[in-house]
Amino acid sequence: MHPGSPHWQPSCSLSTLRTRALAIQAVREFFAARSYLEVDTPCLSSETVVDAWLEPPLLTTSSGKKFLQTSPEAMMKRLLAAGSGSIWQAARVFRDGENGSRHNPEFTMLEWYGVDTTWRQQMQLTELLVRRVLDRLPENQCPLPTEPFHVLTYQQAFLDALNCNPHTCTDRQLRQLAEQHTDSHVDLLQTAARDDLLNLLLGVVIEPLLGSRNGQPFPQFLCDYPPSQAALAVTELAHPDEDAIPVARRFELYINGTELCNGYQELQNPAELLRREQEANQRRRDDQRSTLPGAPRLITAMQQGLPECSGVALGFDRLLMLAHGSDRISDVLPFADDRA
């Protein structure tokens, strides 16, 4: 007989369990009303989309090495290429080494893809979904303003907070700003790559300022990221002028300093996907981390033809944190990592 443990009870309250059920019901009704097909893809796969910063947990099974997926993206896009039409799911996803007040190694992600929709249309859809879910929840602690969610470019966010244009400033200027505004060690900053410096400044200086105004929720979409941070989004000129800079057509939503989602105008070019996978794996080698196999079946599916679409991945648990008025993800999970 195993000795008893004091941590057998759920992490969250029973009333929060009921809130989770109401929220997912609201999500299901929302997408059904818009003819998005609910799907259910595997958590385990021998393939995984390569991300320079995310670690998919690795398992050894009787059929070989498999990865717990950091996102259902690859297999959902294979469904799109097979002709599924617009789809969504509430997926269990996994990220090794992510523990903290807003992170749990296993969490729930709402992910959806709208065929023949643009990233701007998906921003509007995301706003409607967030409002619908929060409106359905009793005792919601995050009342949203009636005006539309604000849209802010990545460039303007850096100019407002740091008086720095992130697309044109030098690496030296970024290091100086990081020395002034963060607690990172100077020696580490000297060897940091440009995207590391941008991510550091975004996370430490800019993100806490996003999504609130005068102590009240003020939802903001951040968009038009540097092309080096495109992930699986398309890159385009920011506007048609001759002096326009290329940007990644992706967006993130912030409410009260919390990042809720990531959205893309989805890349359709399989050769470009392969190039980005190789680039991300090289970055992993540079950081002395293991490389990842990539998603060759997704590349084959894209060669057959991925329809024009845009997609969004939204942290369901973080949305519940806002509704709950909590700054700890464990408060809204049935069993957080230390009790699982």
Q: Pinpoint the alpha helices (H) of the chain.
A: 14-33, 73-81, 119-136, 154-162, 171-181, 186-191, 194-201, 270-286, 296-305, 316-324
Residue 264 and residue 249 in contact, taking contact as beta carbons nearer than 8 Å:
yes
Q: What does the pLDDT average to over 252-278?
A: 97
Band of residue 60 on the pLDDT scale cut at 50, 70, 90: very high
Closest listed residue to residue 109, CA positions, set 260, 314, 262: 314
Inform me whether the pLDDT recorded for 2 exceeds 80: no
Q: What does the pLDDT average to over 154-167?
A: 97
Band of residue 85 on the pLDDT scale cut at 50, 70, 90: very high
Band of residue 339 on the pLDDT scale cut at 50, 70, 90: very high
pLDDT at 240: 81
103-155 pLDDT per residue, tens: 999 999 999 999 999 999 999 999 999 999 999 999 899 999 999 999 999 99
Band of residue 98 on the pLDDT scale cut at 50, 70, 90: confident
The topology under which CATH files domain 1-142+309-340 is: BirA Bifunctional Protein; domain 2 (3.30.930)
Mean pLDDT across the chain = 95
- Indicate the domain borders of the chain: 1-142+309-340
Inform me whether the pLDDT recorded for 320 exceeds 90: yes
